[in-house]
Amino acid sequence: MIVVVSSDCTRTSQSQEGDIGFYPPSCAMSRIAFIAGTYLPESDSVSDYTARLHTSLRDRGVESIVLTTYYAAEAAYDPHALGVVHGWQWVDLKALVKAVWDSGADAVHIQYQPQIYGHQPAILLLPLLLRLSGWRSPIVTTIHEYGNWEWQGRGLLARFSGWLQQLGQQCAWWDREGGFLLALSNATIAIAPEAKTLIQARLPNIERRLWHVPAATNVQASETDSSAARQVLRQTCNWHEDALVITYLGFLHSGKDLKTLLLAFKQVVTTQPQARLLVMDRKDSPKSTVQDDNTYLTQLQTTIDELELRSFVHFTGYLDEEIMSPYLAGSDIGVLDRDVSLNSSSLMSLLSHSLPAIATHVPSLPDTHPLLLVPPQDVTALTTALIELIDRPEKRKQQAKASRVFSQTFNWQNITQQHLEIYQGLLDN
């Protein structure tokens, strides 16, 4: 059966597996099927990104659905999230391909990060299997992480996997990290600019269909009055109303560099006793485990006790967005760890709340960035940067204004528009 499209670009019949859709040259995208390894927006940044894009597209009149695991769909409480597979093993691929066809979508958009698929390589075959099944509509892949993981074969295949990966990449058949996701997608979107650069170096033939669309804040700035937010935050933490609050926002696991921040903060309070440190937990990093989180928190608490900082530091635990935004609005300075980059939603959350921010390492920064940069694990440099912002209120105001202006580029309105332009360009070609 051929899909018939009316003049207003709406489908008049459902596509079946193996059918090919035909569209008039200027037909508007009307339905997107997202593939998500998991879909728990409150638990991981990729799910949160997918949920916000999914919602934002629907607000712009583009219908979208999320195809994920049965467990994730049930836990998401989203009527547009459909459970179609039990997991991401090889045996799940047939059901996934069928679900894409059954979705009636104009395009399929894969959100990829190795962790959310349990580091299973099966998803890397999806574009190939779709093409073999007759799918001719656009395939888009967003790469949330790149350069940190490669598929390794097992048993006898392990001896040849490296050679096969290199050969396939040289011939542009596949990518040793992204499999067929990059080679057979009509458009690849890299969240981080450094990921785009690396992909382009590995697969120069896909340069014309490679895009960089940055991350946006996942904590939308509320309309809370800043004076009221400052008062509530200090009362909640049992701090004096004149306390100057330095806020860390991010995941808490052993890969983070909170000890450097604590050591620097100890030096700060010796000369700036009004300073306080707020540690806001982003919860459930894909790189962490419950045991790892608890062990790391215990280590941090021990360090705080050794430094005699217990009355100066407050851990919020995990907070809903409705509470996180007023906490950020009531803060004075933002601090990020050494793993942060422009694809960091935590970074964008700080900047969108007009916080002057200090980062210990941010690769591939544009010249217009508003951050104060210090070397990683450099207690002295971090201490100096913090004291400079505390001592110079005018500098804080300047940095706050620069943060607000810079973050306006990274809002969901702009990001959704960039996606719509990519989708439309694919349909028009």
The CATH number for 277's domain is 3.40.50.2000
Kindly state whether residues 209 and 323 are assigned to the same domain.
no
Shortest CA distance to 35 belongs to which of 105, 90, 134, 91? 105
- Give me the domain span that covers residue 71: 31-216+412-428
Kindly state whether residues 417 and 401 are assigned to the same domain.
no
Kindly state whether residues 195 and 235 are assigned to the same domain.
no
Span 236-259, mean pLDDT? Answer: 84
Residues in the chain: 429
Shortest CA distance to 179 belongs to which of 108, 107, 127, 111? 127
Residue 343 falls within a domain, yes or no?
yes
Residue 13 falls within a domain, yes or no?
no
Q: Between residues 24 and 220, which one has the greater pLDDT?
A: 220
- pLDDT above 90 coverage of the chain, percent: 54
Kindly state whether residues 77 and 194 are assigned to the same domain.
yes
Position 28 confidence tier, pLDDT thresholds 50, 70, 90: low
Position 166 confidence tier, pLDDT thresholds 50, 70, 90: low
Residue 248 falls within a domain, yes or no?
yes
Give the 3-state secondary structure of the chain: CCECECCCCCECCCCCCCCCECCCCCCCCCEEEEEECCCCCCCCHHHHHHHHHHHHHHHCCCEEEEEEEHHHHHHHCCCCEEEEECCCCHHHHHHHHHHHHHCCCCEEEEEECHHHHCCCHHHHHHHHHHHHCCCCCCEEEEECCCCCCCCCCCCHHHHHHHHHHHHHHHCCCCECCCEHHHHCCCEEEECCHHHHHHHHHHCHHHHHHEEECCCCCCCCCCCCCHHHHHHHHHHHCCCCCCCEEEEEEECCCCCCCHHHHHHHHHHHHHHCCCEEEEEEECCCCCCCCHHHHHHHHHHHHHHHHHCCCCCCEEEEEECCHHHHHHHHHCCCEEEECCCCCCCCHHHHHHHHCCCCEEECCCCCCCCCCCCEECCCCCHHHHHHHHHHHHHCHHHHHHHHHHHHHHHHHHCHHHHHHHHHHHHHHHHHC
Kindly state whether residues 99 and 140 are assigned to the same domain.
yes
Span 404-410, mean pLDDT? Answer: 85
Residue 137 falls within a domain, yes or no?
yes
Kindly state whether residues 162 and 306 are assigned to the same domain.
no
Residue 19 falls within a domain, yes or no?
no
Kindly state whether residues 162 and 238 are assigned to the same domain.
no
Q: What are the pLDDT digits (tens) for 44-70?
A: 788 989 999 999 999 999 999 999 999
Kindly state whether residues 262 and 154 are assigned to the same domain.
no
Work out how many domains the chain is built from and give that number: 2
Residue 10 falls within a domain, yes or no?
no
Q: Between residues 171 and 247, which one has the greater pLDDT?
A: 247
On whether the pTM is more than 0.75, the answer is no
Kindly state whether residues 393 and 419 are assigned to the same domain.
no
pLDDT of 211 reads 95
pLDDT of 297 reads 80
Kindly state whether residues 318 and 418 are assigned to the same domain.
no
Q: What is the mean pLDDT of the chain?
A: 83
Kindly state whether residues 177 and 273 are assigned to the same domain.
no
Residue 96 falls within a domain, yes or no?
yes
Residue 6 falls within a domain, yes or no?
no
pLDDT of 25 reads 37
Kindly state whether residues 247 and 385 are assigned to the same domain.
yes
